[in-house]
Structures are given as C-alpha cells and as structure tokens.
Amino acid sequence: MRIHKYEKIWLTFGIGCLFVFLTVVGVSAFAEGNQPPSCLTTIDPEKVDQTPPFNKPGLVKTGNNEYQLNMVASAFTFTPNQIEIPKGAKVTINITSKDVIHGFEVAGTNVNMMVEPGYVNSFTKTFNQPGEYTIVCNEYCGAGHHMMYGRIKVVDK
Amino acid sequence: MMNETMKVDRRDAKLALAHIYVAFTALALGGLAGLLQTLVRSGKLQLPAGISYYTILTTHGTLLGLVLTTFFIIGFQFAAISRTAGTLSDRVRFWSWVGFWTMTVGTAMTVFFILTGQASVLYTFYAPLQAHPGFYLGLTLLVVGSWISGFATFAHYARWKKEHPGKASPLLTFMAVTNMALWLVCTLGVAATVLFQLLPWSLGFVDRINILVSRTLFWYFGHPLVYFWLLPAYMVWYVCIPKIIGGKIFSDSLARLAFILFLFLSIPVGFHHQLLEPGITPFWKFVQVVLTFMVVIPSLMTAFAMFATFEAYGRSKGATGLFGWLRKLPWGDARFFAPFVGMVFFIPAGAGGIINASHQMDQVVHNTMWVTGHFHLTVATTVVLTFFGAAYWLVPHLSGRVMTKAMNRLAIIQAVVWAIGMSFMSGSMHFEGLLGAPRRSAFSTYGNSPQALEWIPYQIAQAVGGTILFIGIILVLVIITNLAFFAPKGETEFPVAEAAEPQERAALALENWKLWIGITVALILIAYTVPFIDMIQNAPPGSKGYKLW
C-alpha cells in the first residue's frame, strides 16, 4: 500500500497533535490530580435518609477553611437547595440520589457530576469568586426536571 | 459483466426504496417534533392539550437518531451492494424484506408508546426511569431486524467472494460489510441491556436493575452508533463523490484501511460518555479517552483523501495556484454541494468532539447544551446533508426517474438553508452550553436566576435556527417526493468511481475478517473486562422502576 508523501506529513502532524493532547490531559489528570469525579462508594438508594452523612444533609466544617457539602438529589429537588459558602473555602461536595439519575452542575463552573442511585459522587472545588451560582439538574429525570435547581452563594466571611 | 451491475435490479431497488420511504417519514415527524422543541424552549410557546415537552423530545431523538439513520443506511447499503457486487439472490432478498418488516413493526410499536405518553424516557432510556414494556420490545425488534439485514449483507458478500476467488471485493461492498460488522458488534451491548435488564424489569419479572451496568452497556453501543451513521457518509465521500466531480478514488486500499481502523477503534470508547460517573475508576476512563482520541487517525486519513481527490481533479482541469482547484469543482451540482457543506461543518464538529472526550474540558460541557450543539453538527449536518446529497441520485436511480434542473436548484437552496439554520441553532447551543445551560430541559428561568436569564436570548436564536431548519426539512421532503413519484422518467447514474491505481495488491490483504474481528474483540476486552467485573462485584442494591412523567 503506497502512502503519498504529503499524506505521511499530514498524518505525522495529526498523530503528533494527538500525543500532545493526550499528554496534556494525562499530566493534568494523573500528575496534577484534575481527575473526573469517580468516588467508588456505594449506598442503598432506599436508605439514603438513614445513612450518614446524608441523614443530615448540609455544609459541615472539616478543617481550617475546608468543608464538606453533603447533598441529596431526588425528583425534583436538591437538599439543601440554598447554600452559603465562605469565599476561598475548599469544599468537597458529596452527593447521592434517592430515586432516578440526576445531574449536579454548578452553572458556569467545572463542578459537574452525574448523580446515580446506589452511588455517592464526589468533587472538590475551591470557590474563589464571590457571587451567586445556580445549581441545575442536567440529566433528564422526569416531568419536573427543569424545575430542579438550587443556589450557592459564595460570601465574604 | 459491467452492464449487468450498472443498474440496481428493480426488485432490489424496491427493497432499498422501502427503507428510504420509512427514513423520510421519520424525518417529517421527528423534524416537526424538533421544531416544537426549539419553540417551547424559547419560552414563547406552550404545547397544547397537555402534551409534554419530554414526549416531543423522545419522539425527536428516537425518530431522527435511531429510525431515520438506520433505515436510510440499510436501504443505501442494499442498493450499494446490489450495484457493486451484483443482484441479490432471492434468498438474500427475502431475508432482507424480513429484516425490513421486523424493523418497521418495531418502529411503529416504539413510536406508538412514545406518542401515547407511556415512554417519555428520551432516546437514551436511562433506567431507573421505566417505560412501558412495549417501548423496549419495539426497540428490540428494530435492532433484531437490522441484524437480519446485516446477515443478509454478509451472505451476499460471501457469495461474491466464492464466485471471485483471489479478488478484492468491490470497495462499496467492502465498506458496507465493515459497517454492518461494526453495527452487529456494538448493538450486542444495547441488546444485552434491553433483553436481560430492561425488559424483564419492566415486565415485573425482576424488581431491581443495576443502573451502572445498564448505562455501560448502553454507551458501549452509544458511541459506535455514531460511527455507524458516519461510515455510510464516508462511503459516499470516498466512492461516489469522486465520480460525481469526474475524478478518481485517491487510494482504494487506504480507504479500506480507514474503515478497518474505524471498526477497531469505534467500539471500546464508551466511557468518554461516562467521564462524570461515580462507579468507574479514573484510570479506566483515561484508557478509553486514549482509545477515543485514536479515532482521529482514520478521520484525518479521510480528510486527506477527500481534499486530495478534489485537488487532483481540479489540477487535471488546468487549475493553478494553491487553491485554484477549488474553482473547478461542480458547485452547481447538488449531489456534490450538499455533502461538501456537510464536510465543511465536520471540521468544527470534530474539534468539538475532541473537547468532549477530554477529561477536564468535559467537566465544563458535560450534559450542557454544548453537547446538543455538537451532535447537531456531526449527525444532523455532516451525515444528514451527505444522505440528502446521496438521495438526490439514489432515489431517482431506484425509481427510474431523473432530477430536473429546477429540483437541483431547489436542492442547492436546501443545503444553504440547512447551513444557515444550523449555524444559528448549533452555534447558539454551543455558546449557551459554555454558559452552563443544561441539555434536555424544557423552558425554565430557574427561579429568575441571573445566570438562567442570560441563556434565554440564545434559546430564542435556537428557535430561529430551528424554524429555518424546518423549512429545510420541508424542501427536502418536496424534492424526495418529486424524485420518487413525479420527476420525468429516465436513467440516473449510481456513481461509483474508479481507483487512481486499480491494481493495488494491498486491497485483498485487507479482507482478513478473522483477524479484524479478533483485534476488535481483543480491544473491547481490554477496555471493558476489569471495570465491568468491578461494577458487578461492587454493585450497590439495584433500583426499582420509576415513572416520573
């Protein structure tokens, strides 16, 4: 099979770009820890209300300027749905679902997770910009899907 | 010998046309649903009679994503193998009709349960939302029907090989066989989840369902599905377009190699749709991201082959300068123009795909309108415009008619309308997604949140785009109806180009199916075995069904 000289150049350039892209993604993921949410914890979806920490959803202080935000998604609400976070705080968001699949997205940021019944999902974010953010459910969950939202207020302490 | 195969046999033409009629009926209904969606999402329209937005959304996705594509592709491929590998045998044709009717009955069932509001689960039908069992059964018939057609295709190919020992099969037939092989391997995933999980669960034989396993099996199918749509478009680009412009196929064996690479690399990539899910370790997600990126290689090969063909043709007509050959292309011919517009849109579409597949960037765009914008460029522009362009010669070829100058002009206008409509709609979807607007949602201001109010102007732009696209759908339906029933009788060519160097030996070596299927299976096992065992061993209690619409 004859490969034209120009095609060789083109493919070498293309495959070179591919390796650059993959290296960037890989280094960011494995060396700098920018991994996608992949908490491997399971939970009984029907016993979420009895299982800590989801029996008492909300923001918990865990260290100096470090917090855990434990949330429950269900059709068609987030609990809690009004959250105040001090500016600059490092917040680990844990979330699970009581019924169907939901999405958890803090619009305009990179906080974005699938929320699936039976699993806890988790993502850590430092909120440096004060302001108000909308939490939306971004996976179809039924007739009230577009009514499912919450608010995060990042406030100066 | 040549004359025998130049014209698709009338009986085979009927078979191909039947598929194409169902495809364009799906376009009409699904397109109307799409128009209504953009209008509802703009906030200016409420659906009458309590019809749910999500019912319309399910109709749109299922009819256009699954029905239009599958029927058009199988119809086109039957015409292609009949044209290049000879008339189908009576047995193959009989089974192809069985496949057609199985698919059609399945489609009718599925659409019935969607339209009666018993299956508003969107075309991804994620459990534990639970549709009526008839919805899953209809989908099963659609898939099983396509398998019957797939095996009919293989049987036809096997007969050709037996009759022509030591020869490479015709390129179009080879490509159709590769695409059906890809389809059979990938639909095993969706068949497994529907047959072993969703059907028994929706019928009440079992109480609970493993969500992550069903999602993984779905996406094992869901991404190769995209390549099943794309490869027939590539068949048109590689083989038919060169003939339409008057050129030659750049390289027969490189075209075959690209198709084999798609077979290898399209299937073990589903996790890049599941990057933000809880039950899969980051390592395995990354493995599949790497495999996903590899698909860039055959895509780049295709891009090169296309432009090499165009340039070689232009220069043979005396074009000079770096881009002088562009002026020599037949811009007034809709059979070339519509697919070319599709190719142009594939450049931003492919770039968007690389963004979606990247770990950290997906974090920003996952499940936002960006994704909707992305596949409206890939599937709803590149693939669909190529199918339209192909239909402009395929339908009159099969119906024994000719395309008139007036229809050709209308087809050029159609492609321009499509490009404008899609630029509005998909463009604003991309921007809206970057601002965080979720996909698959009805109109909402999220309690008048300032962020959501920013999205609304884009949603209005989407409705403008959607309306223009609907005009495009009406135009294409007018053209296709004309070509099938009203155009003047005559002979239309089924364009199949010759290779620039026809006697390459590599072509034959590229038909080692045992090896290709073996490599495909090996890659799938590498990409899925460990995480799959993990999903089953560390499974949470299953979910019971919910009907929340």
Query: How many whole angstroms separate alpha carbon B244 and alpha carbon A7?
Result: 23
Count of beta carbons in the 10 Å neighbourhood of residue B273: 23
Q: Two tokens at B291?
A: 């495999």
pLDDT band at B4 (very low <50, low <70, confident <90, very high): very low
Query: How many Cβ atoms are within 10 Å of B115's Cβ, its own excluded?
Result: 16
Chain B nearest C-alpha distance from A26 (Å): 8
Looking at the domain assignment, is residue B504 inside a domain?
Answer: yes
B122 within a domain of the structure (yes/no): yes
Which pLDDT does position B510 carry in this prediction? 87
Query: Residue B504: its pLDDT value, please?
Result: 66
Q: What is the mean pLDDT of residues B401-419?
A: 97
Give chain A as a DSSP string: ----HHHHHHHHHHHHHHHHHHHHHHIIIIIS--PPP----B--GGGGGGSTTTTS-EEEEEETTEEEEEEEEETTEEES-EEEEETT-EEEEEEEESSS-EEEEETTSS-EEEE-BTB-EEEEEE--S-EEEEEE--S--STTGGG-EEEEEEE--
Mean pLDDT of A117-143: 95
A7, A134, A140 member nearest B122 (Cβ): A140
Cβ contacts (< 8 Å) between A147 and chain B: which residues? 444
- Residues from chain A contacting residue B304 (CB–CB below 8 Å): 6-7, 10-11
pLDDT of residue B5: 44
Residue that wins the pLDDT comparison between A50 and A4? A50
User: Which whole number is the average pLDDT over B331-345?
Assistant: 96
What residue of A is the nearest CA neighbor of B502?
Answer: A1
The domain total for chain B is: 1
Give the residue on B whose Cα is nearest the Cα of A149.
B446
Residue B319 lies in a domain: yes
Query: Is B436 part of any domain?
Result: yes
Is residue B547 assigned to a domain? no
Active site (annotated) includes residue B375 = yes
| pLDDT class of B321 with cuts at 50, 70, 90 | confident
- Flag whether residue B439 sits within 8 Å of chain A, measured between CB atoms: yes
Residues 55-74 of B with CB under 8 A from A: 57
Nearest to B534 by CA among B335, B353, B279: B279
**pLDDT above 60 for B3:** no
Is B505 an annotated catalytic residue?
Answer: no
**Interface residue B297 vs chain A (CB under 8 A):** yes
Is residue B532 included in any domain, yes or no?
Answer: yes
Subunit contact A105:B436, Cβ cutoff 8 A: yes
B362 touches A at CB < 8 Å: yes
Q: What is the CATH number of the domain that holds B360?
A: 1.20.210.10
pLDDT tens, position by position, A72-85: 999 999 999 999 99
Q: Where do the H-state alpha helices sit in B62-116?
A: 69-85, 90-115
Residue B1 placed within a domain: no
CB contact under 8 Å between B540 and A44, yes or no, is yes
Domain containing residue B20? 10-537
**B277 near A CB under 8 A:** yes
Does any domain span residue B49? yes
Asked if B335 contacts B389 with a C-beta cutoff of 8 angstroms, the reply is yes
User: Which residues have C-beta within 8 Å of that of residue B329, sequence separation ≥ 6?
Assistant: B245, B310, B313, B314, B336, B340
Whole-angstrom Cα distance, residue B38 to residue A124?
Answer: 35
| B512-532 pLDDT tens trace | 999 999 999 999 999 999 999
pLDDT tens digits for B378-395? 999 999 999 999 999 999
Out of B159, B208, B439, B443, which one is annotated catalytic? B439
Q: Helical H runs in B358-491?
A: 359-365, 369-377, 384-399, 405-434, 450-481
- Is A40 within 8 Å of B283 (Cβ atoms)? no
B223 belongs to the catalytic site? yes
| Tens digit of each residue's pLDDT (9 = 90 or more) over A37-48 | 988 899 999 999
Flag the least confident range among A86-100, B310-324, B376-390, B493-507: B493-507
